[in-house]
Structure 1
């Protein structure tokens, strides 16, 4: 399993007090992929840019897809641009992949045949491994989970000692904050528009 898949599984925990938005999660998943690409030696970080540095030896299809999408010519892609580009609908891609692998299952939230469906993690070795990483507060997983509020608060990067990883997590945090600012602006604009139509 990859950090991104572990993060997705953790986000599905029904005991979590914080529901993660699809956009926030997609950005964090793209960041998790980048961290794993750094760990695999596939890329390096130079300032705020992603520099391909070696052949891909990945066996996860979503990670292979991520590596294949790297910009391989100078001046290379900025991390922030990668997050927005790669992150588009990425949480849906992970949900589909995990369902296909039998890691997630759909269940009806009521006994009625037309009740809404919810997706939950199946008790598999991969789920238990993700839960162990989460329980042990493995630094990268904990940092990315914190960015999207899975631990109930947005804290500083816990125990990260790799400069490239710290850079990626910080840029993921900024992207999530930017997305939240866009949401708030739209909410204010929609409220103002509704008041305009409602009249005095």
Structure 2
């Protein structure tokens, strides 16, 4: 059995009439993390969406050997529900028990906000809630598109700790971000250099 959880082979991505990148190959194995860097429009979010199966590559292949969990610009939580209930819905979809949700909320310091409607959360709190959804999913592959946007220093530290714990447990992380998060042992891919 291979440790590879995610493999992209000679992938090309076209958005509109613009070629973002081509011939891109990468493999993420258990315990690995890759930081996608580059300017706006370089294709970081598109690459995350290709890895998630939300976009089809113009060429090449994408193989996912385990379940994925995604953070992107949408929180993907019902805005009208209290946070805990919104997270519980995803837990049922993912087949996860209630204690996993509680642990994920604790990891992102969200327990005091359990009864607050998602719509009332600040930008940083919504990002922490999205991260709690990813943690609770127990998916081996995390696809994180700008997960720290809107987070303060304490929340970013919790995010980095969650990523470290996930990798230590054999998970893999593909992360797009405009700035370094100080994650140890993370490989880098500058998509701006591929243009």
User: TM-score w.r.t. structure 1 length?
Assistant: 0.29
1 or 2 for the larger relative contact order (CA 8 Å, sep ≥6)?
2
The structure carrying a bigger helix percent of its residues is 1
The structure carrying a bigger strand percent of its residues is 2
